[in-house]
Amino acid sequence: RNEKYFLILECDSGHLNGNLISCCRYRIVDKYYKARDSSTRIILLIHLPRKYPTSNFVSFQSQPWQCCHIDDITESSISVANLVINNKPLSEVFYNEDQEYEEVSHVSSGSLEELYSEISSPPSIGTLVPQIGSNMCRRLHYCIHDALSKIKAVQSTTQRLEILKRLITEKPILPLQDQNSFYAVIVKLIKKILQEQEKSTVRSAWIIDEARNIKNLQDAGTLRNALIRRFDNILAPVLSEIIAFVDQYCNLDLLESTGPMSDLWLHIFRSDELCQTKLCQIASTSKAKHQGDVVNKESQKSQFPFSWIIYSYVKEIMDATGATKNYVDMFHDGALEQILKETPLDCVKDLLPKYIHDFIQLTQASIQITQHYELLQTSICLMIQETMPNLDEVTLLEGIITVHQQYKEKQKLFEWFSKLISQMPRILDGIKNNQSPHIEDLVETAVNEAVHNTSLSEPLSQGTTAALRTWIHKQYEIHQIINSILDHMHHRESVGRIIQKWQWICTTRMFVENVVLKNEKAMVFFAKNLQMYSEKEDELQTGLAFKKVAILLNNVESCLESGKVQVLPEQKYAIHNSCWTFFIEVLSEHCFGLEYNFPDRDLVSRLLDSVFPLSSIKRSEPVIHKFLQYHKEKSPQIQSIMVKMLLRYELTDVEDFLSNIITRIDEDKLSACMQQKDVASLMIEYFKDQLAIKSFGEDESGNWNRFTEILVQGHRNFMISKTKPIAISPDYLNAVAQMSFSIHQLALLINSHYIYTDLEDDADIKYFVDTAEQLLSEHSTFTGFLTRFVVRHFGVSLLLETSELNNFKWILPLHELKQESYHFIDPAAIYNPVYEGLRAALSSASTGDIDISELQQESVNLKQIDIVPLALAFYERVRLSHVSGLPSKVLNQEAIMEFVNFVEHCKLFTDYDEIVKTVRALIYNNQCTGFDLMQARKPETPKERLVINEQDLIRTIIVHSVLAVLTNRRDKLIKVLFALLTAPETLKDTLIPAMALNIPRRVSDGEEFPKCSSGHRHSSIMVGQLCPHCGNMIHESIKKMPAVQKPVPKPIASSGYIPVQKGDISSLIGHLSSASYSIIRIIIHSCLLWGECNEKDVMTLTNEELADDIPSYFWEQVKCDLDSLCRATGRSIDEVALITHLVLREITQKDHGIQKSLKNLDKLTSQEDRVLWEREFDDDYIKPVLEDVDSSLQHMLQILTVRDHNKLFAAVYETNTPSNGTNFLWRFYPQVSLDHFLFNTINLQLRIEHPVIYMYLTELQSLKATQFIPDIVQLQKLIQEIISQEYDESTKDVIENMTFTQFTEKNPNDTEKFNELLSSLQQAWTLSRHNLFTYDRLDVPEEYILDEIRDDIQMIYLIPTTYGKGVITTALVDFLVNIHNGFIIQSREFVEESLNRKWLWPVRKVQMMNVEPLHLVDCDKKFLTLLYSHCTRTFRSGSCQIEYDVAGLEKELVLNYVMGKPTITSVSGIPKLVWQKTVQKALTIRGVQKNVPQKPLTQQAK
């Protein structure tokens, strides 16, 4: 037993007896462990054939067995030496600099004792495997062919192979002697790459891995061959990457040359900074595999070693440095200088042109035309010669830097030239004869050839729709290029003729686009007309070209009028409008569109003759005048457009034209469309628009300085202009515009309430306010305009509140204007003269002894329509009694009882008990009992007085609305409102007017979130896992392309009362204007409030809980409706209140016997009934007031008496100011703003005709919020990563209850970043939180939707999940992504369908985790500028109307700010936290036993 001996078991055909061997091994191990003190060592000898198709043999891979492969018994004749590897990594096997061969440290003698000892203590595996060489770099030669085969698109593979075999020899002399040779450099580089790879992977186990791989052993025959194959398989891809890198542009060919070229090649190749480090980065991945294409085309061969590397190196440094005169200093002591300084100076003249050749090739890679390269190479060479005339004294580095510098200065010209050549390569034939190779001359010649090319200038040679669309396509491809070139080179005299020719081509394009293609049935006729005028190119000056346009359009119009072209009436109307659109576009783009050049002055004079004609003077351009006669209804518009276009230029250039216009209007007052004051006001408003465009285009931080400059300049110009004899001159109007613009900004500042903080905190604003006080307070014209502006735009309360501040007491210098300011105006005075007599009678009756006889006498002749003014007279007298502090104004109890007695016996009231009850409540001042806001009361403090003023305003509207409805209850349109007031429960199942429609959002329906079988939604990271809610498997969602719903779903009206979230404008979208809906809702909410306070069952109208205090809810709704009306009309709350009273007067005094429709509309049971009711109500009562608000207000002012308003009102509306002089220049007009545009255009018709603008307006807040998507996703990802690393499910409660501030304190290095990201989330949440109430892609309970996200928010809300409180951020991101995708797809549809330019916008996608701000739509800051560009003002008799070109606005918005943006994919991949869970093996096994049916193993299986 104590003797040491071996038991050797031998098995033949091991590949067939794998199961037997496994059983034997199991039995041997079992017996071995039972005989614990056994000294026996067991050896299994298993014979395996070199090749066998199948095998069930498994080598032994664990203790107590030691597995060894015994390879060939006889010595191999392979060239590699038989040396021991000792399990070294590949990099050491590849090349060892210290010695060529390694000696075997130990060789067994073969004795039994020694063998026993070795087996008891096994040596390293390296001593038991086949022995191969340590300097395997010799294998490089044999890997060349394999490496070349891995490179794509290699040209002349045979030639590459021969070059590389010469450079990488078969039998190198080792160790390497010449360290600078190509072979030595590449060997060291590969060793370095292998070492980098070994850092990330376990390469030391490569021998064991290969020994275990049965398939590789079978294929190789022996383990030695398998190891060599493994080595080659690693080496070949690395060598492939190196070859692919160094042989770009046939760079290896240059190494074959002799002299400085090859030396320079090797210098660059040896450089760590230029080559070696980059190659290591490229090839050091664990599986190096070349993926790119090698540029080895004959036309793109390099002539300078590694030119693309030098180009990138120099360009990167110069771009980072910015503009500087001496770029050479930037490269001092750099890698490039160290390499190039060894190049002899006498070689620079030969090498620099070669670099220029490669430089042009690299910068113009998109165009592979030899002739194009040669032209640009010659141009740069000429630029270098002019800059550096003596190249013999210039270093190669200086020459290369000069090439880059010269190109950088003219880069735009080079790029435009190349783009033009790529679009029209044929023009090279005309350029090659160009005498001057300067880049400016080349570009000019190229543009000249392009505009005279027949494919560009003759669109109608075929006359088919397809041909015209192809021509339009070509036009748009080069339109931007040629425009950019002409804008840049307009100063050259020789370019003028090209500009004229190009303008005519663009004019042709616009005619085809606006007239021909939009009316394709008459296309042939239009094409022939255009072709006739296109052939006459003898005169192309702007004026004559425009004249040809007018002749062309006259011909089209006359043919339509005469019936020469047979079209339907609607087609005739469409063509008529198309011609006008084309005319305006030509006028704006080619007559006044060149910012660098003032239009032809002769043309402007002739246009003025036609647009502002004098009846006594013969027209100088009858052709244009004739065309305008076809569009007489457009005269105010074209006159306004002419003024607007002239004001694009400096005042000094257009002053004579503007003066001419003013003179013409003054001389021809009878035939002119506008009066002189209208033209003057128009000019002022356009002057202000230009100031706004220039001011708001700057950084916001510099605006206040800009406003101050405008104020000072305007004041100086105003004082100078006043001294001139001409009262109304352009410079005077400009000064007025500057002053009024500055005052406008001051009023906006006042309204922003910034002035209530410490002005010292902002020096720019403080300086602006101080300057305004200094310059404005000295002139009553300025303070008067500021007063009017604030009151008419923001309300009298704001003015009075501001004037109490020390810095703004100068606004109201007259103390008497502030007295009695609580009575700004008596709105009931709109019923004068009836109301005036009733009020006087009530005043007389309540003064001294109570005597109502005068009141009774006054009421004898009253009619039914006078019920409302009589009731309002009582209301106003009682209100005065409660708000006035004068004893003479207070009503005693006797007077009140007399008033009540009069009401109860007055025949006008007794006709209906509800009216008696209402008026009695007004007299007792207890209307809406229990709701204090409806009772008049006296203010105790000045601050409270302002609040009371607003309450009085709202209360009066409510009272007036109720009285108007009660009085006119028998009218078919008022019956619905009467039911809301007296019996709201009867309307529960009917439609209520002006309620919000259910308008489906046009958002994308992209991929869904993964779901479990129970429907719980999860992030894509949870696919394949169990749902934490129900335990079911989560399955991957079906991915589909985002798409917009087609056809567009129709809006649906629901029954009952529909509440809306604050800020939601959906209630203002319908078939009427938003102003009309606001007025209707004011009346409806007034009725509902009154009914709720008088115990009517209002809550039956809705299934939703509105609020705890229902009257307060409806009161707030009236305020919201008034605010919407303010925004729609651009007027103050005081004025919109007057507008509402005027509408109520229309209801009261309308002849209700005239009915448009015979249909009964007391209950609206269908959507058609509701639309009919709304349109008839709007036509009868609202439009007469809103169609011309200024006229309505002026009419109201005419019937007011001195008692109806206070002095401040008189000053604001100038009731006592004569209308002569220049006071009309300081009038208040509606201003262009986003609100004005939104509330005056938003309706269902806009949704159909201009869906992009509709979606932009309705989703404006959400589109703003999309800018924060990248930051929110980054915040989610950071939170997810930190929590996943530091927390698990056991600490879940700790992190969820932690505040965000506490969380950031635990990560102090990222605190600043976290705060920035949270700020983005807060802004996005503020903009879009209300949308989550109707969001349905994830389950978001309403109680989770916080009012705001604060810094101390609990982390449970920020941890990204698809359920629980963390769903709010996930839902917000998902909603914003879908809004973005919907807007992109909607815009792409517009480009494809409306503009017929599908080719302009290729489909692009970006994954959500890769979204950047440039991928998102960001035109919020530019949209106001677009509005200014696409609006037209018209003045008639002092009234101003603003019209918007919505079609042009939509086109420019899409083409300039949206087109090209991608949709966002992988939405379900939103970061989501998956809690780490500690899983016990026993629990896992128990779970498997539970879910997988268990059966006992058979005896055979055991």
pLDDT digits (tens, 9 = 90+) for 1175-1217: 999 999 999 998 888 888 888 888 888 788 877 888 888 776 6
Q: Provide the b/e sequence for 1013-1048 (b: ≥16 CB within 10 Å).
A: eeebbbbbbbeeeebbeeeeebeebeeeebebeeee
Band (pLDDT 50/70/90 cuts) for residue 141 is confident
Identify residue 730 by its one-letter amino acid code: P
Q: What is the pLDDT of residue 1323?
A: 93
CA 847/CA 888 separation, integer angstroms? 7
* Whether pLDDT at 800 is above 70: yes
> With contact defined as beta carbons under 8 Å apart, do 873 and 828 qualify?
yes
Instruction: Copy the structure tokens of residue 535.
Output: 């052939």
* Whether pLDDT at 536 is above 80: no
* Whether pLDDT at 113 is above 70: no
Region 1238-1255 average pLDDT: 90
Q: What is the pLDDT of residue 216?
A: 76
What's the predicted TM-score (pTM) here?
Answer: 0.75
Average pLDDT, the chain: 79
Region 1365-1381 average pLDDT: 90
> With contact defined as beta carbons under 8 Å apart, do 42 and 116 qualify?
no
Region 1132-1154 average pLDDT: 85
Region 621-640 average pLDDT: 83
Q: What is the pLDDT of residue 85?
A: 44
Sign, CA dihedral 1088-1089-1094-1096, equals positive
Instruction: Copy the structure tokens of residue 440.
Output: 């400016």
Band (pLDDT 50/70/90 cuts) for residue 369 is confident
Alpha helices in 512-598 (DSSP H): 523-534, 542-562, 569-586
Instruction: Copy the structure tokens of residue 598.
Output: 């003032």
Band (pLDDT 50/70/90 cuts) for residue 109 is very low
pLDDT above 70 coverage of the chain, percent: 79
Q: What pLDDT digit, counting tens, does each position of 1051-1065 carry?
A: 888 888 988 877 778
Identify residue 1286 by its one-letter amino acid code: E
* Whether pLDDT at 1310 is above 90: no
Q: What is the pLDDT of residue 126?
A: 40
Q: What pLDDT digit, counting tens, does each position of 1447-1484 carry?
A: 889 988 988 888 888 988 876 667 666 655 544 455 55
CA 90/CA 201 separation, integer angstroms? 11
Query: Is residue 712 packed enough to be buried (19+ CB in 10 Å), middle (13-18) or exposed (0-12)?
Result: middle
Q: What pLDDT digit, counting tens, does each position of 608-624 carry?
A: 888 888 766 665 667 78
Q: At what angle do helices 348-363 and 260-270 cross, to 10 degrees?
A: 60
Q: What is the pLDDT of residue 225?
A: 77
Between these two residues, 758 and 1448, which has the higher pLDDT value?
A: 1448
* Whether pLDDT at 1076 is above 90: yes
Band (pLDDT 50/70/90 cuts) for residue 1141 is very high
CA 1212/CA 791 separation, integer angstroms? 7
Helix (H, G, I), strand (E, B) or coil at 1473: coil
The number of beta carbons lying within 10 Å of the beta carbon of residue 892 is 11
CA 834/CA 832 separation, integer angstroms? 5
772 Cβ neighbours under 8 A, 6+ residues apart: 711, 742, 743, 746
Region 587-600 average pLDDT: 69
Range among 269-278, 658-667, 1092-1101 rated most confident:
1092-1101
Ranking 262-276, 309-323, 521-535, 1382-1396 by mean pLDDT, the lowest is 521-535
Q: Could you tell me the end-to-end alpha-carbon distance of the chain, in angstroms, rounded to an integer?
A: 33
> With contact defined as beta carbons under 8 Å apart, do 730 and 736 qualify?
no
Identify residue 347 by its one-letter amino acid code: C
Q: What is the pLDDT of residue 1501?
A: 55
Region 1291-1301 average pLDDT: 85
CA 502/CA 489 separation, integer angstroms? 14
For the chain, the residue count is: 1502
Q: What is the pLDDT of residue 127?
A: 41
Region 1255-1264 average pLDDT: 91
Q: What is the pLDDT of residue 78?
A: 37
Q: What are the DSSP E strand ranges found in 1136-1206? A: none
Q: What pLDDT digit, counting tens, does each position of 165-217 carry?
A: 888 888 777 777 667 788 888 888 888 888 877 775 555 566 767 777 777 77
Q: What pLDDT digit, counting tens, does each position of 997-1023 carry?
A: 888 876 555 567 777 777 777 766 667
Region 1321-1348 average pLDDT: 88
Q: What pLDDT digit, counting tens, does each position of 21-78 carry?
A: 888 888 888 877 777 666 777 888 888 776 666 677 766 555 677 777 666 544 443 3
Ranking 319-323, 482-486, 636-640, 1285-1289 by mean pLDDT, the lowest is 1285-1289
Q: Is the peptide bond before 1402 cis (omega within 30 degrees of 0)?
A: no
> With contact defined as beta carbons under 8 Å apart, do 265 and 172 qualify?
no
Q: What is the pLDDT of residue 959?
A: 94
Q: What pLDDT digit, counting tens, does each position of 1359-1369 carry?
A: 888 888 888 99
CA 159/CA 247 separation, integer angstroms? 12
Ranking 351-360, 465-474, 556-565 by mean pLDDT, the lowest is 465-474
Between these two residues, 755 and 771, which has the higher pLDDT value?
A: 771
Q: What is the pLDDT of residue 1456?
A: 85
Between these two residues, 1287 and 554, which has the higher pLDDT value?
A: 554
CA 799 to each of CA 224, 580, 747, 1204: distance values in angstroms, whole numbers, following the listed order = 97, 45, 9, 20
Q: What is the pLDDT of residue 1136?
A: 93
Q: What is the pLDDT of residue 1254?
A: 92
Q: What is the pLDDT of residue 105?
A: 40
> Tokens 């770099």, residue?
137
Instruction: Copy the structure tokens of residue 664.
Output: 């013409």
862 Cβ neighbours under 8 A, 6+ residues apart: 834, 870, 908
Q: What is the pLDDT of residue 50?
A: 64
> With contact defined as beta carbons under 8 Å apart, do 1354 and 1297 qualify?
yes
Closest CA to 235 of 323, 123, 138, 166: 138
Instruction: Copy the structure tokens of residue 448.
Output: 């000249």
Looking at the DSSP assignment, which residues form a beta bridge with residue 46?
A: 11
> With contact defined as beta carbons under 8 Å apart, do 907 and 955 qualify?
no
Between these two residues, 1487 and 366, which has the higher pLDDT value?
A: 366
